[in-house]
């Protein structure tokens, strides 16, 4: 048992980080470790699903581990467990639920990062999705990341260290830890050992997830996710009549909207009620009317945040479907060219053979490009319905 169990198939990163955690433990104990092993800011990069944020959490656990032997990160002490579950007093995790991380949020975070750790070990600040930092937010963070207090560590996660994702000024202040896509075998064994998934299901999920650990886990345990994947992968061969275009597009969009409502509905209502109570709704007696006067604005703010969260859920859900679709056309292209490369959806090999027999290489490529263009379009705020329908039209026409 160790905190590194959570990190799937990343031996190099684990070696670097556990050495750093050892050095960190030496610093806490009052010693002087070899220079350059531990540092104050880290940037974890890797493709989606490679486990950037779980690696960052595991590292935070290792830093907070209270068992003082020479290998910190036991995974069972209070320090490790609370850090992994996000309840440690000295581990601050920023997980953007909306579309971006604001300056105000980062300014507050900079203040927190300046405090001494209450447990006497390390003050850890984790920013998941650092690519969602707005330009202003990234600038607000610069000073703190460049020269944080003695015992503060920043852990940033982003898809890559490309300037599109992380500003160069932030990038140059961090040590880079790059994670690769984990191998299917590693994912399967992690699903078996950590989540207790039956071996056959684990093998299957690992083979179709495209190196995305979270996706593999979801597919392995969630019946509905498997159904969704099936219905998405059925689309390419189901487009026969022109009218199918709209049925399929409708299906995709409805599924995404449904995801957004089911994921957020109960939570929205609870948040609303909590805020209303906090602003004095439902109170009686003198002064209650005056107390609730400012509530409207606060409620409006909350609604705005909730809307941004719903948009994000909807886009994420659509993106997942589009990635699956792109995988299918890639498979068709792989089959068409007779390449030996591994398929993204090995369980759909029959379909990709059919597709490869029907379509020319150019038309498969055009379809693949339409899917990728649709992903980009949704990212730049095109109405999902318009973007998806345009894409499915191309999928139909080829």
Partner 1 sequence: MSAPESLHLVVGEEELLVERAVRAALEAAREVDPNADLTRVQVTDLTPPELAELVSPSLFAEGRVIVLQSAQEISKEIADTVLSYVKAPADGVTLVVVHTGGGRSKAAKDLPGQLKKAGAAVTECAKITKPGEREAFVRNEVRRAGGKIDPEGVATLIDAVGTNLRELAAAASQLVSDTDGKVTVDEIRRYHQGKAEVTGFAVAEKAVTGDRAGAMEALRWAMQLGVPHVLVADALADAVRTVARVSAVGRADPFSLAGPLGMPPWKIKKAQAQARGWDQSGLADAMQVVAGLNADVKGVAADADYALERAVLRIVAAHGRR
What residues make contact with partner 1 under the rule CB under 8 A? 241-243, 245-246, 377, 380-383, 386-387, 389-391, 393-394, 396-397
Residue 8 or 255: the one with the smaller Cβ distance to partner 1 is: 255
Question: Where does the chain show beta strands of DSSP type E?
Answer: 41-45, 91-94, 123-127, 152-158, 175-178
Question: H helices of 103-241, where?
Answer: 103-113, 135-146, 168-171, 184-195, 199-208, 213-221, 223-238
Q: Which is nearer to partner 1, 8 or 395 (CB)?
A: 395
Overall residue count recorded for the chain in this entry: 398
Comparison of 267 and 307: residue with beta carbon closer to partner 1: 307
CB of 380 to partner 1, least distance (A): 5
Q: How far is the CB of 243 from partner 1 (least distance, A)?
A: 4
Residue 103 · residue 10 · CB < 8 Å: no
Closest to partner 1 by CB, 42 or 329 = 329
Query: Closest distance between partner 1 and the C-beta of residue 244, in Å?
Result: 8
Q: What SS3 state is found at 73?
A: coil
> Which residue number, 85 or 385, has a Cβ lying nearer to partner 1?
385
**Whole-angstrom Cα distance, residue 4 to residue 11?**
10
Between residues 21 and 245, which has the closer beta carbon with respect to partner 1?
Answer: 245
Residue 52: burial class (beta carbons within 10 Å; 0-12, 13-18, 19+): buried
Give how far the C-alpha of residue 327 lies from the chain's centroid of Cα atoms, to the nearest Å.
Answer: 19
- Minimum CB–partner distance for residue 376 and partner 1 (Å): 8
Q: Shortest approach of partner 1 to residue 377 CB, angstroms?
A: 5
> Do residues 130 and 166 touch, judged by C-beta distance below 8 A?
yes
Residues 175, 145: Cα–Cα separation, whole Å: 11
Q: How far apart are CA 173 and CA 167, in angstroms?
A: 10
Q: Tell me the backbone φ, ψ of residue 196, rounded to 5 degrees.
A: 65, 35
CB of 393 vs partner 1, minimal distance in Å? 5
Helix (H, G, I), strand (E, B), or coil: what is residue 390? helix
Closest CA to 53 of 164, 131, 138, 156: 156
C-alpha to C-alpha distance for 163 and 179, rounded to whole angstroms: 18
- Which residues are within 8 A (CB) of 72 and not within 5 positions of it... i.e. 6 or more apart? 18, 21, 22, 24, 25, 62, 63, 65
Please name which of 262, 266, 263, 288 lies closest in space to residue 277, comparing C-alpha atoms.
Answer: 288
- Measured from the CB atom, the residue of 202 and 374 that comes closer to partner 1 is 374
Q: Kindly state the helix (H) or strand (E) to which residue 264 belongs, with its residue range.
A: helix 242-278
Of 144 and 387, nearer to partner 1 (C-beta) is 387
- Least Å distance, CB 382 to partner 1, is 4
Least CB distance from residue 355 to partner 1, whole Å? 19
CB of 246 to partner 1, least distance (A): 5
Taking the complex as a whole, how short is the minimal distance between the CB of residue 373 and partner 1, in angstroms?
Answer: 9
Closer to partner 1 by Cβ: residue 69 or 362: 362
Question: Measured from the CB atom, is 146 or 319 closer to partner 1?
Answer: 319
């Amino acid at each position: 048992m160790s905190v590194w169990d959570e990190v799937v198939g990343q031996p190099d990163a684990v070696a670097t980080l556990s050495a750093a955690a050892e050095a960190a433990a030496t610093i806490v104990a009052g010693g002087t470790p070899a220079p350059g092993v531990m540092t104050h800011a880290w940037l974890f990069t890797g493709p989606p699903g490679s486990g950037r944020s779980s690696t960052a959490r595991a590292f935070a656990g290792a830093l907070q581990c209270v068992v003082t032997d020479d290998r910190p990160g036991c995974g069972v002490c209070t320090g490790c467990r609370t850090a992994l579950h996000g309840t440690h007093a000295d581990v601050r995790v920023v997980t953007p639920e909306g579309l971006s991380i604001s300056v105000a949020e980062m300014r507050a975070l900079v203040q927190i990062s300046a405090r001494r750790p209450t447990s006497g070990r390390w003050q850890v600040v984790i920013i998941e999705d650092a690519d969602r930092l707005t330009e202003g937010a990234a600038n607000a963070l610069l000073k703190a990341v460049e020269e944080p207090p003695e015992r503060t560590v920043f852990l940033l996660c982003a898809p890559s260290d490309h300037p599109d994702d992380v500003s160069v000024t932030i990038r140059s202040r961090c040590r880079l830890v790059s994670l690769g896509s984990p191998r299917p075998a590693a994912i399967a064994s992690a699903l078996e050992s950590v989540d207790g998934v039956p071996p056959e299901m684990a093998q299957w999920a690992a083979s179709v997830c495209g190196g995305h650990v979270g996706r593999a886990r979801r597919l392995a345990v969630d019946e509905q996710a498997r159904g969704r994947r099936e219905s998405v992968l059925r689309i390419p061969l189901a487009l026969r009549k022109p009218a199918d275009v709209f049925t399929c597009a409708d299906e995709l969009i409805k599924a995404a909207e449904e995801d957004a409502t089911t994921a957020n509905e109960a939570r929205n209502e609870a948040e609303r009620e909590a805020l209303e109570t906090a602003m004095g709704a439902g109170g009686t007696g003198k002064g209650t009317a005056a107390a609730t006067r400012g509530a409207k604005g606060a409620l409006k703010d909350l609604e705005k945040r909730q809307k941004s969260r719903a948009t994000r859920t909807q886009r994420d859900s659509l993106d997942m479907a589009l990635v699956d679709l792109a995988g299918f056309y890639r498979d068709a292209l792989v089959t068409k060219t007779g390449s030996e490369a591994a398929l993204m959806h090995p369980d759909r090999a029959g379909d990709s053979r059919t597709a490869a027999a029907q379509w020319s290489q150019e038309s498969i490529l055009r379809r693949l490009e339409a899917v990728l263009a649709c992903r980009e379009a949704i990212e730049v705020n095109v109405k999902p319905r318009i973007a998806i329908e345009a894409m499915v039209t191309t999928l139909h026409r080829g």
